[in-house]
Amino acid sequence: MARLDPHSCFDDAQPLTRSIHWEAAVDFGAKRLSGAATLRLAAPAPAGPLDLDTKGLAIRSVRTGDGAEVPWDLAAEDAIQGRRLRLALPAGTERVVLEYDASPDAVALQWLESQQTAGRQHPFLFSQCQAIHARTILPCQDSPRVRISYTAEVTVPEPLVAVMSAGSTGSRPGPAPGTRTFAFEMPQPIPSYLLALAVGNLAAKDVHPRCRVWAEPEVVEAAAWEFGEVGTMLERAEALFGPYEWERYDMLVLPPSFPYGGMENPRLTFLTPTLLAGDRSLVDVVTHELAHSWTGNLVTNATMDHFWLNEGFTVWAERRILEALHGEDAAAVAWAIGQKGMDGAFARFGMDSPFTRLRTDLTGVDPDDAYSQIPYEKGARFVVLLERHAGRERFERFIRRYIERFHFQSITTEEFLAFLEEELPGAAAAVGSKEWLYETGLPKNAPAFRSATLERLESAAAGWGGGMRPDPVHAARWPAAHLLVYLQNLPRPLPAADCAWLDRELSLTGRGNYEILVEWLAIATASDYEPVFARVREVLSTVGRMKYLRPLYAALGTSARTRALGRSIFESAKDGYHPLSRRVVESVMESWPSA
């Protein structure tokens, strides 16, 4: 018996799930998903146990494929992992069918009322299974080590549409009047956290022979324009990393409560509507999710202890695509923006925190509590060191061999290191991999990313205290990323007169680019600048993206007046936040001064 994932009861001595057929009925009135999951095993099972992960599921029945009842029991509740479901399989079992109901409070699901959508006429449902939340919508071996293909039939009320991280195989009238059943197939094996479902009033528009945008009808045209260049990104990515193996790269723009910028669900990336800036200035998030099609979806971390393998390589890949599209200067600016996110995570955890290691040990820790930009940005800098040591051309060959060797597999840091030594002997030692992977903080040999543009922006911001101000006419021509770097490097708090100048001359409060808007609102709120308070309330009442909630609520904690405002906003907005977003805000508010 060996349990290799600290967040799953998956036991590699037990039968392995090879594929799942999932039947789900969506009930918006009860906010309940009722399901039947047919698990097909990799080989006929010997008589004995099969342990599955569940959380909040009400099991109704368990049978073999030929209808024989299977004895089962649920273990005591674990706050992080949920309840182990143990099945006593008879010898020769090839399929097991589990009927169940998911909880209305399933962490993986967010149920939205019609007024929380763009159209305000129909409800909406979406899932978010990363990191360990697939177990809240179906019983499964919920570990990235277990890769499954799947088929699904999802019944929803008309006129709503269901979409999944899978290919559509059509739809038909549902079993009850006023319902429709949508069918899907995912032939490639994926980890359970990449299972994804959304249901709503959805329309679609093609932007490339392999790319389609899904969104509410009120949003779909803007989304199709915003992401109209994704086909070019896909082709550039293939030139760098090899063939795209998922057939289509479609995207779904969700309502604003989606807690992430994007989620790399294969065949259907989920995206926040905060990317719809109207000028394509935030499509780098799509570049990141697209890059996951190779690093993360093809080659996957074996457990959340090795999360950097997904995210570090993907940030590196994202910036290689960005460089190919827009040049070295744009990539340097992106590295500088990423540095700020990483610095914030180091400050939050502390440089000596075990959460600042790349290769972590999260036994007894909820992966959502350990989530930060560190595996993304520190991990990407480690990859850059390897690239610089090997040389770009040689490293590109290495990356292609890495993807070819481990495609459709889930691996550990140690397996990566063994492959690295095999392909690039001595590279790990040369860059100090043990310190990078197993020690806390940021090693002293972290790579630097400089450009003349970056230095000008940082110098201009550094001169603020001495009276230096940018020419508003010139600043109006800055790309969005340049303005963001400038704002990130300004001192804070600022006097009210300085805030007024920035807002007046750079037109910040009315911005549609949320990266710029939130950076500005954080500066102004931390400066107790009252003219932005209404806009802060508006943003926090409509947007659930954790990346924006954390800095704004942190800024609200700086004075008694802003803390009162923050508590008022949270009380009225919290029911519209995703459970993960609520947890982030509550943790931020707990860190506020008590006085």
For residue 253, list its beta bridge partners. 271
Shortest CA distance to 546 belongs to which of 127, 197, 256?
256
- High-pLDDT (> 90) share of the chain, %: 99
Which tokens go with 348?
A: 């939050």
The arrangement of strands across the sheet holding 32-45 comes to 58-64, 93-101, 32-45, 17-27, 147-157, 179-191, 167-173
Residues 74-121 pLDDT 10s? 999 999 999 999 999 999 999 999 999 999 999 999 999 999 999 999
Query: Active-site residues: which are they?
Result: 289, 376
CA atoms within 13 A on the CB side of 92: 2
Tell me the mean pLDDT in the region 252-259: 96
Q: Which residues contact 327 (CB under 8 A, 6 or more apart)?
A: none
Average pLDDT on 299-321 reads 97
- Residue 1: the pLDDT is 52
Domain ranges within the chain, ordered by starting residue: 17-201, 202-290, 294-450, 459-590
pLDDT higher than threshold 70 for residue 304: yes
pLDDT tens for 214-224 read 999 999 999 99
pLDDT for 4 beyond 60: yes
Tell me the average pLDDT across 48-67: 98
595 pLDDT above the threshold of 70: no
Angle formed by the axes of helices 392-406 and 374-390, nearest 10°: 120
Measure the CA dihedral 103/105/106/107, to 10°. -170
pLDDT in tens, 483-497: 999 999 999 999 999
Q: Which residue shows structure tokens 């195989």?
A: 169
Question: What are the angstrom distances between the C-alpha of 19 and each of 16, 65, 164, 340, 571?
Answer: 9, 14, 16, 42, 43
| E strand spans, 243-373 | 250-253, 262-263, 268-271, 299-301
Q: Report the C-alpha gap between 522 and 417 in whole angstroms.
A: 40
On whether the 294-450 domain is CATH 3.30.1370.60, my answer is no
Instruction: Classify domain 459-590 at the CATH topology level.
Output: 1.25.40
Distance CA 124, CA 590 (A): 31
Can you give the pLDDT at residue 76? 98
What's the mean per-residue pLDDT of the chain? 97
Query: Domain spanning 17-201: which superfamily?
Result: tricorn interacting facor f3 domain (2.60.40.1730)
Backbone angle region of 429, left / alpha / beta, with phi > 0 → left and psi within -120 to 50 → alpha: alpha
Q: How many CA atoms lie within 13 A of 301 on its CB side?
A: 25
Interval 61-83 mean pLDDT = 97
At 208, give phi and psi (nearest 5°): -170, 155
Fold of 202-290: Zincin-like (3.30.2010)
Torsional sign, CA 193, 194, 197, 201: positive
Closest CA to 82 of 61, 107, 62: 107
- Parallel/antiparallel/unpaired status of strands 48-54 and 167-173: unpaired
List pLDDT tens digits, range 341-396: 999 999 999 999 999 999 999 999 999 999 999 999 999 999 999 999 999 999 99
What mean pLDDT is predicted for residues 123-127? 98
Residue 431: partners with Cβ closer than 8 Å, 6 or more residues away: 382, 385, 386, 389, 445
CB atoms within 10 A of CB 482: 19
pLDDT of 566: 98
Over its C-alpha atoms, the chain yields an Rg (Å, rounded) of 24
**What is each CA distance from 585 to 245, 547, 553, 577, in whole angstroms?**
38, 11, 7, 10
Mean pLDDT for the stretch of residues 269-298: 96
The beta strands (E) that lie in 77-191 are given as 83-89, 93-101, 109-112, 124-127, 147-157, 161-164, 167-173, 179-191
Record the pTM: 0.97
β-sheet bridge partners, residue 252? 214, 270
Handedness of CA 122, 258, 323, 399 (dihedral sign): negative
The predicted-structure confidence for 15-32, as pLDDT tens digits, reads as follows 999 999 999 999 999 999
Q: Binning pLDDT at 50, 70 and 90, where does residue 2 land?
A: confident
Average pLDDT estimate for 61-86? 97
Tell whether the model's pLDDT for residue 187 goes beyond 70: yes
The separation between CA 521 and the C-alpha centre of its own chain, rounded to angstroms, equals: 24
| Spatial contact of 220 and 168, defined as CB atoms under 8 Å apart | no
CA distance 262 to 146: 23
The sheet carrying 197-200 orders its strands as 109-112, 124-127, 197-200, 161-164
Angle between helices 328-349 and 374-390 (to 10 degrees): 130
CB 37 within 8 A of CB 392: no
Residue 3: the pLDDT is 85
pLDDT at 594: 84
